[in-house]
Amino acid sequence: MATDDVTAPAAAADRAEWLRSRIRYHNERYYADDAPEIADADYDALVRELAALEQEHPELAAASPTAEVGAGALSTAFAPVTHRVPMTSLDNAMEDAELVAWGERVAKGLDGAAVRYACELKIDGLAMSLRYERGRFVQAATRGDGRVGEDVTANVATIVSVPKVLPEVDGLPEVLEVRGEVYLPIDAFERLKAAKEAENAERIAAGRKPDPVPVNPRNAGAGSLRQKEPSVTASRGLAFWSYQLGEVVGGPEFTTHAETLDFLRT
C-alpha cells in the first residue's frame, strides 16, 4: 500500500510532463511553423488527458499549457499585435454529460435566474480580429496566445468577404473590433488539393521531391492566411465569418450576445 502511495503521484507527474511537452511541441508546429503533424481530435485528446490529471492532482497544474489559449511562441514572419480585449477560446464538450454539467454550472452561477442560450454553427478556421476605425478596416490580427497575436492585415485585406468600408448605419462605433474565423471553404480546399497533387505529379516525374498535400481545410486555411506574400493568400479563396465583438468605442450598448449578432448582420 505504501508503494502505491509513492508511485501513483510520481507516475501522474511523469505522464503530465510528457503530455505538456507533446502539447507544446504541437503548439509550436501549428502556430509558429504552420506545419501541424496531428489531427485536431488527437490534439484535443492530449489536452483533455492533461486537464483530467491536473484536476486530480492540482499541484501539477503550474505553468501548464491547458491555461494557454495558443502557442507560447509566435511566428517571426509577422509583427506582434497586443489585443486591447483578450481573445479567449471556447471550451468543448465531447459527451452529453459534459454539456449538461456545464449548463448546471451556468444556472448555479446565475442563482436560478432564467437562462437563454444563443446557438451557432461552428466554423472551423483561424480565429481573427478585424479592427475598424470610423468604419474603415485598419488592422487584422490572429488570436495568438490570447494577449498578443500577429499582424496579418495585408493578407486579410485580400479576402473578398472582409469589408474594407462598413455600411453607414446609425450608431456606428468610432472603433469596432469584429472577431470571427478565417476559413477555407470546402470547394476552395478541393481545388487547392487537386492543384497540389497535379504539381507533385510533375515534380515526381522530374525526379524531385513532392511537396506536402493539404490534409484538411482548417490547416490549409491557416497556412494560406499566413503566407509571406499576400498574392498567394489572395489566390486561395479564403472567406471570413464573424461571430463576436471585441473592443467597441462609441455606438450602441449590447446586453446579450444575440444583440451583437443582430448588429453584425447589419
Q: How far apart are CA 176 and CA 137, in angstroms?
A: 9
Burial class of residue 159 (count of CB atoms within 10 Å of its CB; 0-12, 13-18, 19+)? buried
Q: What's the pTM? A: 0.77
* Tens of pLDDT, residues 115-128: 888 888 888 889 99
CATH code matching the domain that covers 1-73, chosen among 2.60.40.3140, 1.10.10.10, 1.10.287.610, 1.20.120.1770: 1.10.287.610
pLDDT at 27: 79
Residue 38 pLDDT > 90: no
DSSP code, position 252: -
User: Residues of 238-266 as b/e, b for ≥16 C-beta within 10 angstroms?
Assistant: bbbbbbbbbebeebeeeeeeeebbebbee
Alpha-carbon span 155 to 178, nearest angstrom: 17
Amino acid of residue 182? V
Q: Alpha-carbon dihedral of residues 157, 161, 166, 167, nearest 10 degrees? A: 150
pLDDT above 90 coverage of the chain, percent: 45
Q: Residue 184 has what pLDDT?
A: 96
Sign of CA dihedral 166, 138, 34, 231: positive
Residue 189, pLDDT > 90, answer: yes
Task: Answer yes or no: is pLDDT of 134 > 90.
Answer: yes
| Low-confidence winner among 6-20, 117-131, 132-146 (lowest mean pLDDT) | 6-20
CATH of 76-91+121-266, one of 3.40.630.30, 3.40.50.300, 3.30.70.3450, 3.30.470.30: 3.30.470.30
Cell reading at 219: 490547416
**pLDDT on residue 162:** 96
Mean pLDDT of 255-261: 90
Give the per-residue pLDDT at 157: 97
CA gap 33, 75 in Å, rounded: 7
Please tell me the predicted confidence (pLDDT) of residue 197. 95
- Is 122 assigned a catalytic role? yes
Contact 71, 28 (CB under 8 A): yes
What pLDDT, on a 0 to 100 scale, did the predictor assign at position 192?
94
Decide if pLDDT at 158 tops 60.
yes
Residue 2 has pLDDT above 70, yes or no: no
Q: Pick the catalytic residue from 108, 122, 209, 228.
A: 122
Question: How many CB atoms are located within 10 Å of the residue 205 CB?
Answer: 8
- Residue ranges, CATH 3.30.470.30, the chain: 76-91+121-266
Q: Where do you find CATH 1.10.287.610 in the chain?
A: 1-73
Lowest mean pLDDT, pick from 52-66, 81-95, 103-117, 230-244: 52-66
Best-predicted range by mean pLDDT (150-154, 167-171, 225-229): 150-154
